[in-house]
Structure 1
């Protein structure tokens, strides 16, 4: 085989191995929403 075909096959093999490598799981931290406070009783009707 010619050198250009060997080079293309080697490049394709490296790309294939890189694409099939095990992906690391991404760890995402979600902040909880703040808890709302209940309204304070003022003694007045609205």
Structure 2
């Protein structure tokens, strides 16, 4: 029982990490586009 719950927890943890990394990537892209826009505006 303990091993099963640990496996499930590990899967959930991996999913959370994937979501966070995706959010970070999208944020970095948005910031990058914003910086490019600011540079072009100047």
Structure 1 regions of 5+ residues with no counterpart? 28-46
User: Which structure shows the bigger proportion of residues in helix conformation?
Assistant: 2
Does residue 25 (structure 1) correspond to residue 24 (structure 2)? The answer is no
The CA deviation at 1:5 is 0.5
Aligned-pair CA distance for 1:13 = 0.5
TM-score normalized by the length of structure 2 = 0.52
Counterpart in 2 of 1:13? 12
1:4 maps onto 2:3 in alignment? yes
Structure 2 unmatched runs, 5+: 33-42
RMSD: 2.2
Higher-Rg structure is 1
- Between the two proteins, the alignment pairs up a number of residues equal to 29
Displacement over 6 Å in runs of 4+? none
Tell me how far apart the structure 2 counterparts of residues 4 and 11 of structure 1 sit (CA, whole Å). 10
